[in-house]
Amino acid sequence: MNVNANTLNEDEFFYGHKACAGCGGSLAVRIALKVLGKRAVAVLPAGCMSAVGFNFPQLCFANNAIISTFAGTASMLTGIEAGLRAKGITDFVAVGFAGDGGTADIGIQALSGAIDRDDNILYICYDNEAYMNTGVQKSSLTPFGAKTTTTPAGGNVRGNLRPKKNMFEIVAAHGIKYAATASIGYLPDYMKKVQHASEIKGTKYIHVIAPCPTGWGIAPDESVEIAKEAVDCGLWILAEYENGIFSVNTKPKNLSALRTHIKKQGRFKHLTDEDIDHIESLRDSKWENGGQ
């Protein structure tokens, strides 16, 4: 049965936590666990989701959940999968929820190792584009121009100078069984991808864009809309990689909305028109590459 808003599990597996209002990451975790159900074993590294949800004695996962080391999301998933399999248990999903820093920076080695071994795990990167838990520092998934506490926007430098690392392509280059991008602005698409991934044996990777109102400088009730806009204006491409083939899921609805989308976010407030032109050109070159 395909999962959708009507068929989605009414049980909650991630509640009572202390995430900020409007947190995109917590929505990504909550919805994925509803799709995966009580046989999911969740691994969360140091980061927002473990910080808000895992403080003894207030523990807020209704399924089995464990914190890993910051660098060890994938390696701990591997161990859990191997341990349960060694016990003859097969009807479970070992799922990781790591942020952008935990995935693209400190955790990339372990993730690469797990994909190389084709371990039967599902790795979900909730990408809020900076180290939000420690107070908004730049990660390698922070986009060009974004102001963070370690890439301040001043008279000399206008925020982060480097473009976002392309984790989707990096993961696909391993020849992974399944990889997808998603957005919390398009939950039905995200749910479908989580469900599809859970039915594949081998390593699966889903990269979901998950705005952080605190770090992005947006209102709590705007995070879903901002995540939607990012897709609509072509900045974030919904795509899949399976059996060696890339496919783009949606065409951007309104390319010209990029400028207002950027301007809405406090982290980009300092950007000049030329800076936004540069963001636009980065976007356009991606689309010229077939969306990759």
Partner 1 sequence: MSREFLSGNEAFAYGIRLAAPQVISAYPITPQTIVVERLSEMVEDKSLKSEFIHVESEHSALSCAIGASATGVRTFTATSSQGLLYMAECLVYASGGRYPIVMMNANRSTALPWNIYGDQRDSLSLLDCGWIQAYAKDAQESLDLAILSYYIAEHPKVSTPFMVNLDGFHLTHTYEMVEVPESELVKNFLSDYNTDNKIDFENPKNIAFSAGPEHNFAFKYKEHIGILNAKEIISEAEQKFAPLFGREYSGLVEAYRCDDAEYILITLGSIFGLCSDVADELRNEGVKTGVLRLRYMRPFPNKEIADIARNAKAVAVLEKDISFGNEGSVYTNVNSALQKAGLSVPSLNFIGGLGGRDISEEDIREIFNKLSQGKTAVHFIGIEEGAII
- Per CB under 8 A, the list member of 41, 125, 182, 206 interacting with partner 1 is 41
Spell out, one character per residue from 9 to 38, where the chain touches partner 1: x when CB under 8 A holds, - when not.
-----------------------------x
Helix or strand or coil: residue 8?
coil
Per DSSP, the residues of 117-147 read HT-S-EEEEEE-SSBTTTTSB--TTPPTT--
Spell out, one character per residue from 60 to 99, where the chain touches partner 1: x when CB under 8 A holds, - when not.
xxxxxxxxxx-xx-xxxxxxxxxxxxxx-x--x-------
The reply on whether position 137 binds partner 1 by CB under 8 A is no
Q: How far apart are CA 19 and CA 46, in angstroms?
A: 14
In the complex with partner 1, the residue whose CB is nearer, 11 or 221, is 11
**Residue owning tokens 């992974």:** 176
Give the torsion sign (CA, 211, 212, 217, 220). Answer: positive
The reply on whether position 245 binds partner 1 by CB under 8 A is no
Size of the site for partner 1 (CB under 8 A): 45
- Per CB under 8 A, the list member of 50, 128, 133, 198 interacting with partner 1 is 50
**Residues in 104-123 at the binding interface with partner 1, rule: CB under 8 A:** 109-110, 112-113, 116-117
Q: How far apart are CA 86 and CA 10, in angstroms?
A: 32
- Per CB under 8 A, the list member of 4, 7, 55, 254 interacting with partner 1 is 55
Report how far apart, in Å, the C-alpha atoms of 247 and of each of 42, 67, 239 are: 28, 33, 6
**Residue owning tokens 């008279």:** 155
Which pair of structure tokens corresponds to residue 205?
């990777």
Per DSSP, the residues of 168-222 read HHHHHTTT-SEEEEEETTSHHHHHHHHHHHHTSSS-EEEEEE---HHHHT--GGG
The reply on whether position 56 binds partner 1 by CB under 8 A is yes
Calculate ∠ Cα 196-254-190, nearest 5°.
15
In the complex with partner 1, the residue whose CB is nearer, 110 or 231, is 110
In the complex with partner 1, the residue whose CB is nearer, 121 or 125, is 121
Q: How far apart are CA 40 and CA 30, in angstroms?
A: 12
In the complex with partner 1, the residue whose CB is nearer, 67 or 239, is 67
- Residues 45, 102 contacting (CB under 8 angstroms): yes
**Residues in 150-189 at the binding interface with partner 1, rule: CB under 8 A:** none
Closest approach of partner 1 to the CB of residue 124, in Å = 17
In the complex with partner 1, the residue whose CB is nearer, 59 or 219, is 59
Binding segment (CB under 8 A) for partner 1, from list 19-27, 57-65, 143-151, 197-205: 57-65
Which positions touch partner 1 (CB under 8 A)?
A: 38-39, 41, 43, 50-51, 54-57, 59-69, 71-72, 74-87, 89, 92, 109-110, 112-113, 116-117
